Amino acid sequence: MFQRQDSSQNQMEFICIEDLVPPDHLLRKIDKHIKFSFIYDKTKDLYSDIGRPCLDVVILFKMMLIGYLFGIRSERRLEQEIKVNVAYRWFLGLGLSDTVPDHSTISQNRRRRFKESNIFRDIFDEILRQAIDSGLVGGEYLYTDSTHLKASANRNRREVVEVAQTPKDYLDDLETAVNRERKAHGKKGLKPTKKIKNRKRKIKRSLTDPESGYMCRERKGEGFYYLNHVTTDEKHNIITDVHVTPGNVHDSVPYLKRLDYQREKFNFNVKAVSLDAGYNTAPICKGLDERKIFGVIPHVRCRRNNLKIQKRHFKYIQDEDVYLCPEGQKLLYRTTSRAGSHEYISDSKICSQCSMLSECTASQNKVRVITRHVWEEYREIIRQNILTTVGKFLRQRRRETVERCFADAKELHGLRYARYRGLKNVTEQCLMTAVAMNIKKMATHLCYLIIYRLKLHFIIVKYQLQPQI
């Protein structure tokens, strides 16, 4: 029988908000397995003992967490969603008739109270410690990569400025190694470099967000960006470190410091790491070998040229310290540059009579120069690691772990664009996104672990009670 339902909603009902939230809802899992009480101790010193009572700080951070969990980028929109979403109200401990905190409460606390503090880093570290205590983080096999966030800045509103050049951490060791190699070959040692702080370089700086960096990479966007350097653990792909830099900072610059930070902060016994090809630099290979860490880093793809004979076709003879070309000629040592590269040069008289000259070099002097870094032996160790069974496994797993984190962060948690301006504010966004992703993985895995243990216990009891025939 055809009929119409009355759409009016004017009846009064007595309901329990607990019954309205589905039992398998994500927020139920989080509320059961994640402890947020530590936030009180972390933020106690940020509040005054006088004045009006503040909003419960755990409710404040839970509101922010909801925004990052479900990709709600606007704080105004977040307030509206909490008003109409029963699960959000239940998670915050608010009844159906309770007033939802205003969106300005979040923004003003973030801009004023938490601006000069490290509260977001502390929350990330504490959540990670809970994951470690739950057995979800091993700390033995780590994967690291970086992804770019488009800064909230117009790339056309910029200026060219001169900034001081930041010295690299390894320059003193490199200079010592270069002088040692030069003296071993009968060359004079290089004079000490001028103080690096007096050197300057020109960069493009945004007028909207001066702390962002102008990035121009192949197959990536051109403009002002930030780089989010992320490290994940092998066991359950839990994020163990987040570090944000301007977009014009190379991936390899902060890596060793962040690796040591994790080892000291969380007592990780790192046995192996797998990195992107951008990290394949001599200082990183040397640093991994000194730390006795098994490194897996792919080769850096060099730009192609018209020459058919590449550097890989030349063979290095270590006993004689020469390179042997495909035609049998020996390339002799010439010098060692300040950048740390040995130069091996061929004989122009022999090369001019070679039939493969046009395929080997385009030099007008008819010579071929091969360079070799003073720390090249460490890079060769990394090359051998890739060929092993473990190396191939770790290289494949890196794509399935840290690359998957970037995909989820951008598609599900709004990390494709920077919400705020300034390095500290963007770091806050990346940290809270990592916290949301870690909490979601922890709650999911711990729920499955409980179910698995219950099933296992049921099977054991069942077979113990079954009479034997």
3-state secondary structure of 41: helix
Q: Considering the domain boundaries, does residue 1 fall inside one?
A: no
Max intra-chain CA distance, the chain: 104
In a domain, 439, yes or no: yes
145-155 pLDDT per residue, tens? 999 999 999 88
Looking at every residue in the chain, the average pLDDT score rounds to: 87
Is 143 found in the same domain as 103?
Answer: no
DSSP string covering 286-306: HHHHHTT-EEE-PPP-PPP-S
Residues 264, 400, single domain; the answer is yes
With a CB cutoff of 8 Å and minimum separation 6, the contacts of 7 are none
Chosen domain end from 331, 348, 374:
374
pLDDT band at 465 (very low <50, low <70, confident <90, very high): very low
Is 2 among the domain residues? Answer: no
Q: Phi and psi of 406, rounded to 5°?
A: -65, -40
> Would you say 239 and 232 are in contact if contact means Cβ atoms under 8 Å apart?
yes
Quick one: 362 and 420 in the same domain? no
Give pTM, 2 decimals. Answer: 0.88
Contact 271, 263 (CB under 8 A): no
One domain for residues 137 and 271: yes
End residue of a domain, out of 374, 404, 421: 374
Domain total of the chain? 3
Q: Within a 13 Å sphere around the CA of 84, how many CA atoms are in the beta-carbon half?
A: 4
Q: Which domain holds residue 317?
A: 311-374
Are residues 274 and 338 located together in one domain of the fold? no
Same domain, 334 and 434: no
Same domain, 53 and 82: yes
CA distances from 341 to 119, 292, 384 (A): 45, 25, 21
Which pLDDT value is given to residue 195?
A: 52
DSSP per residue, 59-105: HHHHHHHHHHHTT---HHHHHHHHHH-HHHHHHHT--TTSPPPPHHH
Are 100 and 60 in contact, with CB atoms under 8 Å apart? Answer: no
Question: Does 453 fall in a domain?
Answer: no
Identify whether residues 277 and 403 lie together within a single domain.
yes
Is 468 among the domain residues? Answer: no
Q: Which of 31-40, 81-90, 195-204, 264-273 has the lowest mean pLDDT?
A: 195-204
Q: pLDDT tens, 350-389?
A: 888 888 888 888 888 888 998 888 998 999 999 999 999 9
Domain check: are 243 and 364 in the same one? Answer: no
Q: What would the pLDDT profile of 94-106 be if each residue is shown by its tens digit?
A: 988 889 999 998 8
Name the domain boundary from 84, 117, 150: 117
Of the listed ranges 31-35, 305-309, 369-373, 382-386, the least confidently predicted one is 305-309
The CATH number linked to 253 is: 3.30.420.10
Is 269 within the bounds of a domain?
yes
Q: Is the pLDDT of residue 196 over 60?
A: no
